Chain A
Amino acid sequence: MTRLACFYVPMFVLAARLRSEPDLLNEAVGIVEGNGNNAHIVAATRRARKKGICPGLSLTQARSLLPKLIARSRDSECERTAQEALLEVAETFSPRVEDAGEGVVFLDVTGMERHFAGEGDGEWGVGSGSDTDLAGAARDDSNSHPPLTTPHSHNPEFRLARAALRACDAISLPARVGIAASKLAARIAAELPKSPTVVAPGEEATFLAPLPLTRLSPEMEAAAMLHRFGLSSIGDLAKLPESEIASRLGEVGRELHWAARGIDPRPLMPRPLPPEFHEGMELEWPLVALEPFLFIANSALDRLSKRMEIQGFACKRLEMTLTLDPEGYDARGIDLPAPTRDVKTMLTLIRLDLEKTPPGAPVTGFSFVAHPDRPRRAQLSLFGPSAVSPEKLATTIAKLISILGDGRVGMPMTVDGHLPERYAINVFSPPPPPDVRRTPARARGLLAVRTFRPPIPIEVTTRETAGDDVQIATIRSLAEAVSDTRPLTQSSRPRVEAGAKIEIAGTVRICSGPWRVEEGWWIDRPDIREYWDVELERGGVYRVFRGGAAEWFIDARYEM
C-alpha cells in the first residue's frame, strides 16, 4: 500500500517572512497584503494575536488595537525560497516529492520507514517545532481535535515523521507532518496541531470520522447544505448513502463523500529536481551602504548553504541580482574555482565584487542563484605528504582571485611553440599526493632566468665580425615595459609606454649568439627572432632578441 506524507507549514506567509527575519520571532508582527486603504492583515504572530490582531483586519484597525505592531508586507521572494527549502527537505526523505504550494508538500514514503527502524527516541523534535509561535497558533483552533490514532514511538513511520520535523526545524520552518495512505488523509493529519500524526494503513475512514466537516474544506454552497442536513462531522457524512448525496449535491457531493470515506484517487505528481537554488528578499527600505546589505546577505547565503548541504551539493557559480531604486537591476555572476558551501567565502567574494563595482543606486531587493555541483572529495594520506583540503583550497583560490584578479592565480602551463615567453594559466587542481613519502629527485642545477613580461625595447649598436654574424656592442633600454598580464599571442607585439624610466644600459663585455628561432612559418607574418646572450661591463647577463621588424628587445635576465 502506498504511504504518503504531508509537510504542512501553518501560516506559511508569516513563517516564510520570519525565516528571513528571525529577529522578529518574538515580536508582535503582522503580515500585510495590499496597499493604502486596502492593506489588511493576512497573518500575525501569537503576541499580536493575543492583542486581538487577526487575519482580515485592516492595517488601520490593527494599529488602533496595537500601535507598536510591526507590519511587514507579503514577500513573494521569501515565500518562494521557503517553499523551495521545504521541498528540498522533503527530497532528503524521498525522491518522489510533489509541490502543493503555500507551505504544503506531499512525498511518497513507501518503504522509507525502514531507514528509521533503529533510530533512537532520545530527541523529541516535535516539541521544538510545535512549541514555536506559529505552531502554537493552531492549538488555539477551536475546531481542532486530538488525533484518534495514537502514535507509538516504536513505529518506524512515526520516527520518520519526527526526523522530518527536526529537518524542517533546521531550516527555520515550523512544519507539521502527517502520514497516511492518501493525500487527503495525510493533509488533514498534518493540519492537526499535535504533530506528527500517523494514520495506520486502512484506518483513514476511522481517523476522519470524528473530525469536523470543515476539515474537508467543502465549497461554500455545499457546506451550507450539509449544515442544513444536520451533519457536523466527517463520519456523519460517510454514513450516508453515496447516491443520495450525489443526487442532492452533484459531483461535488460524490467527491466529498469519497473524501469522507478516506478515498482520494488523486495520484502523487512528483516534481523534477531543480537545476539551481534560489534565495532572496525584498527589502523594506532601500539600502545605500554595503555593510547592512552584507548583514542581510549573510543570512540568505547561510540558508542557501544549508539547502545545498541537504542535497549534497556545493556552489560552483553564484549569480546575484540586485533590485535597484527606483527601477532597474544589477546582475552579476561570481565563478568559484571549486565548488564550496563556505558562507564566509561567498560573502567575501560578494563584498569584493561590490567594492570593485558598486551598483550605483540604492538596493531594494536581491536574489541569489547558486548553480550546484558535487563538492570535491579527497582521501587524505596518512603516511604520504599531507594533501590540501579541497574545500579550503577552493576558498583560498577564490579569495586570491578576487584580490588579485583573473589570470593572476592558477597552475602554470607550458604552451606548444618556440617563443620562450609563451605560458598559460589553468585552474589549480593538484593530483592527490602519493601514498608513501618519496625521496626528492636530485636537482639538475639549471640556471634560471627572470623573464620580462612584456619584453623591454632597447636600442643597440652593433659591430661587424669576420663572418656574417652581428655582435652587439652597447645596449640601452628605450623605456621600461608596461606590466602586461596578457600572454603574448601569435601576432601580438610588446606594448610600450613612452617616457618611462630607462633602466638597462651599458657596454657589452661578452656577446654570444645569434640563435635563431622561427615560429609560424605557415602564416603571412611568421615570428622570426635572433637571440643573443650579452654580459655588460657593469654586470648583468641579459637575453636580447631582434624581431622581424628589426626591433630589439630584452626578454630575460640571467640572474646576477
Chain B
Amino acid sequence: MAVHARCLDSQFPLLEARTTPTLTRTPRVVDSPVAFASGEGAAIRNLRASLEASIAAKLTSGSELIRNLARQRREEILPTTIEPLDALLGGGLARGKMTEIAGRGTRFSIVIATLAASTSIGETAALIDAGDSFDPQLAEAAGVDLQRLLWVRPHTMKETVTAAEMIGATGFQLVIIDIGSRRPPGRRVPDAAWVRLARVAESHGATILVSAPYALTGTTSEAMILAHAPRAHWLGRENAPRVLAGIETHLKLEKHRRLRPGQTATVFFRCEEGIEGGGEWGVGSGRKDVGYLSSSQSSSVGSMSSYSYPPLPTPHTRKAS
C-alpha cells in the first residue's frame, strides 16, 4: 500500500539544494565530558589491587552482582513457547521492549499462551483486557497460573494505556494489552502515550505485548507481527457430524528493529476437545500436545492434508470449556 507522507514546512529538503541559512553562531569544539566515577568503592579497588590478577578477576561486589543480574535480565527474551512465533521474533518477546500483534488471526490464543509461559516460570503478569473477553477457565486449562495474573478490565482506550503504564512502572515482568475485536469506546489515544509506554517498558525491564485488530503502536514497538488469514478446520465431511478441530493463522513479521522483516509462519491452535479426545488427528508434526501446524519461515501456508481423521467423540461427552 502506498503511503503519501505529509510534507511539512519544517522538513529539510534532501533533493533540492537550497541556500543554507546563515549561521549566526560559529561552531566550536565542545569540551570533553567529565569522567564520572565507575561506582567502584575505594575499599574494593584497594582489595583488587592487593590481590593477584586471576583472583581479582573473580572478585565481585554485591552492587556489581546486582547490576550484572539486572543487565542480564534486560537482555533476556521471554519465549512465548509457540515455536513458529518465537522463530519469527528471534527467540521470543524482547524484555524491556514493546511488541505488537495486529490483525484478525488468533491473537488471543497467542496472548493466552504467552501468559502461560510467563506465569509458569514464576513471573507476575498482567492482562489489560479492553475487550473484556478473558475466560479464566480456558486460561487455566491452557496452563496460566491465575494466582500470578492480574486481570484489568478497562472501559476506554485511555484507561487501557493508563493502566498499562502504571502496571509496567510497578515492576510486572509481562504486561499484555488486548484490545479485543474492535476499538474500545473513547477518544483515540495520542501517539505520545505509546512512546511513554515504551519508555516505561525500557526503564523497568517489562515486556509489553499489544494485541489489537489494527496497528496501534507505530514506530514505538520493537517488532510487529501481522496475524491474518485465519481458517477454521473441521473434522467430518458432508452430512457427517462435524467437530471444530482448530483455527490456522498466518503470521508475518512486518517490522523488527534487529531482524529482517517479511518472514512468515503458520500456527494452528486446536480446540480443547481435539486434545482430549483427539487420537492421531492433531498435528502434522506428530506432536499431540502442541497445535502448531508448521514453523516454516519461508512458506506462508502449511498443509493440512496430512490429517488422518479419528473416530469422532460423541457430542454429549464434550466438556464445557
Task: Let me know if A445 and B108 touch, CB within 8 A.
Answer: no
Which chain A residue shows the least CB distance to B245?
Answer: A447
Which residues from A are CB-within-8-Å of B116? 441, 443-444
* Complex Cα gap A450–B140 (Å): 15
A557 at the interface (CB under 8 A from B): yes
Decide if A437 touches B290 in the complex (CB within 8 Å): no
- Interface assignment of B105: CB less than 8 Å from any CB of chain A: yes
Cα A442 to Cα B290 with chains together (Å): 8
* Chain B count of residues within 8 A CB distance of the other chain: 87
Q: Tell me if A410 counts as interface (CB < 8 A to partner B).
A: yes
Q: Mark B98-140, 1 if CB is under 8 A from A, else 0.
A: 0000001111110111001110111110000001111111111
Interface contact tally, CB-CB below 8 A: 242
Bitwise, B150-190 to A at CB < 8 A (1) or not (0) is: 11111100010011001101111100000011000000000
**Does A425 sit within 8 A of B, measured CB to CB?**
yes
Is B73's CB within 8 Å of the partner chain A? yes
Asked if A448 and B150 sit within 8 Å, CB to CB, the answer is: no
Interface: A392 (CB within 8 A): yes
- Closest chain-B Cβ to A324's Cβ sits at a distance in Å of 32
**B87 close to A (CB within 8 Å):** no
CB of B104 within 8 A of CB of A560, answer yes
Candidate in A382, A419, A533 with the most chain B CB atoms within 10 angstroms: A533
Contacts of A513 in B (CB 8 A): 315
Partner of B133 from the list A383, A450, A512, A535 (CB cut-off 8 Å) is: A450
Given A430-B147, A443-B80, decide whether A403 and B159 contact each other with a Cβ distance below 8 A: yes
Interface of chain A residues 401 through 458 with chain B (CB within 8 A): 403-404, 408-414, 418-420, 422-425, 428, 430-431, 433-434, 437-453
Stretch from B48-56, B195-203, B263-271 at the A interface: B263-271
| Chain A residues near B241 (CB-CB < 8 A) | 512
User: What is the CA–CA distance of A444 and B141 in the complex, to the nearest angstrom?
Assistant: 9
Contacts of A382 in B (CB 8 A): 65-66, 69
A384 touches B150 (CB 8 A): no
Q: Check B112–A559 contact: CB distance below 8 A.
A: no
B315 interface neighbour in A440, A443, A450, A514, Cβ under 8 Å = A514
A171 CB-CB contact with B under 8 Å: no
| In-complex Cβ contact of B163 among A404, A422, A440 (8 A) | A404
Contact between A412 and B149 (Cβ–Cβ < 8 Å)? yes
Assess the A414–B81 pair: CB atoms within 8 A: no
Residue of B141, B146, B152, B292 most packed against chain A (CB within 10 A): B152
- A226 contacts the other chain (Cβ, under 8 Å)? no
Contacts A411-B146, A425-B151, A441-B81 given; indicate if A449 touches B159 (C-beta within 8 A): no
For A421, the closest partner residue in chain B by CB is B135
CB contact list, A441-484 vs B, under 8 A? 441-453, 465-466, 483
- Complex interface: chain A residues within 8 A of B131 (CB): 450
What string of 1s and 0s marks CB contacts (under 8 Å) between A516-540 and chain B?
1100000000000001010100000
Are the CB atoms of B315 and A438 closer together than 8 Å? no
Question: Is B96 engaged at the interface, CB distance under 8 Å to the other chain?
Answer: no
Residues of chain B in range 230-276 having any CB-CB distance to chain A below 8 Å: 230, 232, 234, 236, 239, 241-244, 246-247, 268-272, 275
- A310 touches B (CB below 8 Å): no
A475 to chain B, nearest CB (A): 16
A515 to B318, CA, bound (A): 6
**CB neighbours of A433 from chain B (8 A):** 122-124
Residues of A within 8 A of B150 (CB): 397, 409-411, 428, 430
Which A residues lie at the B interface, using CB under 8 A?
A: 382-389, 392-393, 395-397, 399-400, 403-404, 408-414, 418-420, 422-425, 428, 430-431, 433-434, 437-453, 465-466, 483, 485, 510-517, 531, 533, 535, 541, 556-560
Q: How far is the CA of A434 from the CA of B170 in the complex (A)?
A: 19
Question: Are B247's CB and A559's CB within 8 A?
Answer: yes
Known contacts A449-B138, A450-B180; A408/B292 CB under 8 A = no
Closest to A397 in B: B150
Contacts of A541 in B (CB 8 A): 232, 244, 247
Assembly CA distance A387 to B122 (angstroms)? 9
Determine whether the beta carbon of A533 is less than 8 Å from that of B244. yes
CA–CA, A385 to B290, complex, Å?
Answer: 26
Bound-state CA distance A173–B271 (Å) is 68
Distance of A433 Cα from B139 Cα, bound (Å):
20
On chain A, the residues within 8 Å of B169 by CB distance are 396
Residue numbers in A under 8 Å from B302 (CB-CB): none
Residues of the B chain whose Cβ atoms lie less than 8 Å from the Cβ of A439: 121
B141 A412 Cβ-Cβ under 8 A: no
> Assuming A445-B289, A446-B112, is B315 touching A414 (CB within 8 A)?
no
Considering the chains assembled together, what is the distance between the CA atoms of A210 and B139 in angstroms? Answer: 82
B154/A404 in contact, CB under 8 A = yes
Compute how far the CA of A298 lies from the CA of B131 in the bound complex, rounded to whole angstroms: 37
Nearest CB in chain A to that of B274: its residue: A447
Instruction: Report whether over half of chain B's contact residues are helix, strand or loop; otherwise say mixed.
Output: mixed
Known: A410-B151, A557-B181. A392 touches B170 (CB 8 A): yes
Q: 16 extra interchain contacts, Cβ-Cβ under 8 A, other than A430-B147, A443-B290, A516-B316?
A: A404-B155, A410-B150, A414-B140, A419-B320, A440-B121, A443-B80, A443-B117, A444-B143, A446-B271, A447-B246, A448-B138, A450-B108, A465-B239, A541-B232, A557-B181, A558-B244
Asked if B69 and A559 sit within 8 Å, CB to CB, the answer is no
Interface contact A517-B320, CB-CB below 8 Å:
yes
Contact A559 B109 (CB under 8 A): yes
Instruction: Assess the B106–A448 pair: CB atoms within 8 A.
Output: yes
- Counting chain B CB atoms within 10 Å of each CB, which of A400, A444, A449 scores highest? A444
Question: CA A319 – CA B318 in complex, angstroms?
Answer: 51
* Known contacts A431-B148, A445-B268, A515-B315; A451 and B79 CB within 8 A of each other: no
Contact A414 B271, CB 8 Å, known A444-B290, A533-B244: no
- How far, in angstroms, from A382 to B66 measured CA to CA in the complex? 8
Which residues from chain A contact B180 at a C-beta distance below 8 Å? 450
- Flag if A451 contacts B135 (CB, 8 Å): yes
CA distance A392 to B171 in the complex (A): 8
Is B224 close to A, CB under 8 A?
no
Asked if A412 contacts B246 (CB within 8 A), the reply is: no
Which B residues between 61 and 103 are near A, CB-CB below 8 angstroms? 65-66, 69, 73, 79-82
Cβ contact within 8 Å between B290 and A408: no
Q: Closest residue to A396 on the B side, CB-wise?
A: B170
Contact between B106 and A403 (Cβ–Cβ < 8 Å)? no
Known: A388-B124, A433-B123. A396 touches B230 (CB 8 A): no
Give the CA-CA distance A430 to B118 in the complex, in Å: 13
Nearest CB in chain B: distance from A521 CB, A: 15
Closest to B144 in A: A412
Q: Give Cα A241 to B240, complex, Å.
A: 119
Residue of B nearest to A381 (CB): B122
- Give chain A nearest CB distance to B189 CB in angstroms: 15
In the complex, the answer to whether B141 meets A386 with C-beta atoms within 8 Å is: no
Instruction: Sample 26 A-B pairs with CB under 8 A, ordered by A number.
Output: A382-B66, A385-B173, A388-B171, A395-B170, A403-B159, A403-B163, A408-B154, A409-B150, A412-B146, A414-B146, A423-B135, A433-B123, A443-B82, A443-B143, A445-B109, A445-B270, A445-B290, A446-B109, A446-B112, A446-B269, A447-B109, A448-B112, A449-B133, A449-B321, A452-B133, A558-B247
Chain A neighbourhood of B154, CB < 8 A: 404, 408
B232 touches which one: A419, A422, A511, A560 (CB < 8 A)? A560
